Amino acid sequence: MTIRGVRAAYDASADAWAAGPDVMYAELGRALVASAPVPVAGASVLDVGAGTGVAARAALAADARLVVAADLAPGMLRHCAAPLRAVAADLTALPFRDGSFDLVTAAFCLSHLDRPLDGLREARRVGAAIVASAFQPDWDHPAKSAIDALLRQLGYEPPAWYAELKGTGEPQVGDPRQLTELATAAGFTDVDVRLVAVPSGLATPRQQAAWRLGMAHVAPFLQTLDEATRAAVHQEAELAISRADAGPLIAPIVLLAAT
Ligand SMILES: C[S@@+](CC[C@H](N)C(=O)[O-])C[C@H]1O[C@@H](n2cnc3c(N)ncnc32)[C@H](O)[C@@H]1O
């Protein structure tokens, strides 16, 4: 996967992400930290692929002693306010010594790697434990389908990095059996992988539209439209979701907890 494409997309989307997807990812980040295989209170925590720092903030709220947020995209990290410490870094080549952290959190980022094993090995090197999440592949919700249909009408095509992610990293980490094998191959010995459904906190059509339109594979496309058209797309998206009678969104995810 082109790291440059991923970084550019997340950098360009950072504000839209913070105003949209962040709501849902914050709920998922809390669920992730609650599943940590070691006590979080008093721990040193590294949140890799931290984005706007939702899991990092959840670790702070759980009384972690020190939390570092690492991400490829400096634009996303700008939303990680103190006391979080933000470090721009590739999660497959982290600038930390062996055993620097009690816990590594990896929320929805291993799917962005062609070889998730590389990220898991690096987490194993710098941390004593990991808790990681991924979406179950091919999950759907009426709000997602409604926005995908609307975007197609506008001539949107998914960027190459996103199409690649769907074909490489996501199927590996979204599959409980493969994720278990990967974590074991990375050197974790006590590995637990489970499927869970987490209420997303996205209740209204407005929140659900902001979620879909703020994703990094979509927001850069919307930025190519003029402001009036963009506003019209947001309105149309809310209408499409209302018409789809989407209802609340429960996210089906795969959770890995390992030491
Ligand atoms: C789906 S977002 C999730 C962000 C955050 N963890 C959350 O749950 O909201 C994926 C994040 O992984 C980051 N990312 C992707 N590949 C990465 C890599 N090789 N190294 C570090 N970060 C990466 C992206 O920049 C993005 O911020």
pLDDT (tens digit per residue) in 146-190: 999 999 999 999 999 999 999 999 999 999 999 999 999 999 999
Closest C-alpha among 186, 89, 201, 85 to residue 132: 186
Q: How far is the CA of 37 from the centre of ligand 1 (A)?
A: 22
Angle between helices 54-61 and 21-34 (to 10 degrees): 50
Ligand 1 pocket by Cβ (under 6 Å): 3, 6, 10, 25, 29, 49-52, 54-55, 71-73, 76, 90-92, 107-109, 112-113
Q: How far is the CA of 239 from the centre of ligand 1 (A)?
A: 30
Most informative mutation of 15, 47, 110, 112 for ligand 1 (most atoms within 8 A of CB): 112
| Candidate from 1-5, 70-74, 104-108, 237-241 with smallest mean pLDDT | 1-5
| Residue 7 CB neighbour total at 10 angstroms | 20
Question: 181: number of CA atoms within 13 Å, CB side?
Answer: 8
Per-residue pLDDT averaged across 111-135, rounded?
98
Quick check: 1 pLDDT over 70? Answer: no
Q: How far is the CA of 192 from the centre of ligand 1 (A)?
A: 22
Quick check: 13 pLDDT over 80? Answer: yes
Per-residue pLDDT averaged across 248-255, rounded?
94
Q: Which two tokens stand for residue 39?
A: 């006590």
DSSP letters, 75-105, are HHHTT--TTSEEEE--TTS-SS-TT-BSEEE
Q: Which two tokens stand for residue 147?
A: 């926005």
| DSSP E strand stretches across the chain | 44-48, 66-71, 85-88, 103-107, 130-135, 191-199, 250-258
Closest C-alpha among 241, 250, 244, 248 to residue 206: 241
Q: How far is the CA of 7 from the centre of ligand 1 (A)?
A: 9
DSSP β-bridge partners for residue 61: none
| Residue 119 CB neighbour total at 10 angstroms | 29
pLDDT confidence bin for 248, thresholds 50/70/90: confident
